[in-house]
Amino acid sequence: MDMDVKVFHQDVQNNSFEIYEIFNPGINVGVQIRYIGKLINGDIIMNDNKSYYEARKNMSGVLVRSANVIRYPFKTSFHDYMVDTKLMKYDIYSKFHYQLFLGLGEIHGFDYNTTLPFSWFGNTSSGEDGGLAKMLWDDTIDISSAGCIMRLLGTERLDFYDFIMPYYKFRSCFYFRNPGFVKPNFNEVLKPFAKESWLVTLYVTGIVCVCIEIAYYVERRNNVGNNRWYRSVFVVIAAFSQQGLDTIPNQMPSRIILLYLLICSLLLYNYYTSSLVSSLISTEPEVFKTVKELLESKLKVGIEFQPYTITYMQNRVKEDHYLDLLNKTKIYESDTPNIFTAEEGIKKVHQGDFAFHAESITAYPIIGDTFAQDAICDLAEIVLINSDTSLMAQKKSQYKKLFQISLRKMWQSGIIRKLHKTWVTAKPECLSSARVISVTINDMFMPYFLLAMGVLLALLILLAETVWKKFRFRIRRIFQNDDFPIIYVN
């Protein structure tokens, strides 16, 4: 198909040469001869200005040999199984790329047959010893109608096959409901106010304490022993904490001071509590992001049985120590691998305390159908495989250039985007307006800490007052004892 051979045929009568191009598009057709122009007196006159793509586009009668990989059994015909949107939950990865292959068939009009091997690649790094890859290597097929991962075990595969064009991102993840962990942080209590606001609040507290002391002194200057120096401090703290006051002033100046104190405390209290509560309900707990955190968590782990997952882990564990430990301790547990179907694994994820590894294109439809909104909002994932995929052809395939142009045209016209929206389910969206976030005990650490410190401080003060009272009582008895010498001074 991609031959670029020109043949000049001499026309003796007209002293010119007729120019032809020849190419062989493939099986069932044979060599094609196309007249493209003349060479007269050193000048080339082109009668056909078709581009390479336009000249080769029509592939009517050409047989293209293809192969696909199916993991789930089906009862209908292969084609019906691959295009029926009612059966989208199974083999979506292969079905999406099959739609791209059908698009190429519509554009070029070629005939095709499809072989169904049991796997994509063999066990070697290049994978040419088994599955669909071996069929390409042995020239049994021309192109895959299933997607193949471009970079999984290095770049060895690029030396053996041609990847036509990546139009899909292959992702497999560990899915779990985020158990969340919140580290008690003293700074969270200070966050609602800036540093300057806290300083101004302290200044106002000091000024108000002084004013209250002056008011007490003026109002009760004839009553000795009724007030203590720290009483004003407790009054201001009680007002700021919305705990009320133990006294009601009698004179107008004192009432004005307390009125403004209560107004100030109301504003501070509202601003502080609204900001703090908003921060608690809008900030999600930290989520596990690495395999190491998943290994150290209490979550159980299972995987879906897929060849690429097993192959990837067998090679990745040589470099990733934590994935190796995860495989030996949690995935392969009690001498038995924790392997589940996609439905079983996602169901365990919904129940909680379980992480399940599966392909995103398989997991998202099940999650969208079975998870409630709160569970969707709690969903978290740790990406394990993130690679580009593409239709794959023989190395130096004659169809690579032609099909690349066609796929790019399909992309520019929006066809591939439409196919992606139809066949690839996006991650279920968390509707925050329908989500209720519970404030956990970790979030309430600071209030309980302050309460405990207050109780402890109160006990210490009580103990100190008791000791001081006993000490004063003993001193008084010493002075009241008759044996104690009394000196009278005139």
Host H or E run for residue 475: helix 445-480
User: Is domain 187-282 in CATH 1.10.10, yes or no?
Assistant: no
- Residues 3-41: tens digit of each pLDDT: 888 899 988 787 889 889 899 888 888 888 888 888 888
CA pair distance 58, 247, nearest whole angstrom: 98
Summarised one tens digit per residue, pLDDT across range 137-172 is 999 999 999 988 875 445 567 788 888 877 778 888
Q: What is the pLDDT of residue 123?
A: 76
Q: Running DSSP on this structure, what letter comes out for residue 393?
A: E
Q: Alpha carbon of 247 to those of 213, 235, 239: distances in Å?
A: 13, 9, 12
pLDDT-derived band at 412 (thresholds 50, 70, 90) equals very high
What are the backbone angles phi and psi of residue 23, rounded to the nearest 5°? -160, 160
Which residues 6+ apart lie within 8 Å of 157 measured at CB? 121, 125, 126, 127, 133, 150, 151
Burial of residue 396 (number of CB atoms within 10 Å: 0-12, 13-18, 19+): exposed
Whether the model clears a pTM of 0.75, i.e. scores above it, the answer is no
pLDDT at 71: 85
pLDDT tens string 284-328: 666 788 888 888 888 899 998 887 777 777 778 788 888 888 888
CA 471 to chain centroid, in Å, comes to: 66
Sequence spans of domains, the chain: 5-56, 187-282, 455-490
Distance CA 229, CA 434 (A): 52
pLDDT at 191: 67
DSSP secondary structure code for residue 433 in this structure: G
Q: Mean pLDDT of all residues in the chain?
A: 81
pLDDT at 141: 94
**pLDDT of 119 higher than 80:** yes
pLDDT tens-place string over residues 442-465 = 666 666 777 788 778 878 888 888
Q: What is the pLDDT of residue 378?
A: 84
End-to-end alpha carbon distance in the chain: 134
Please, which pLDDT band fits residue 117 given cuts at 50, 70 and 90?
Answer: very high
User: What does the pLDDT read at residue 224?
Assistant: 43
According to the model, what pLDDT value does residue 305 have? Answer: 83
102 contact partners, CB below 8 Å, separation of at least 6: 83
406 falls in which pLDDT band (50, 70, 90)? very high
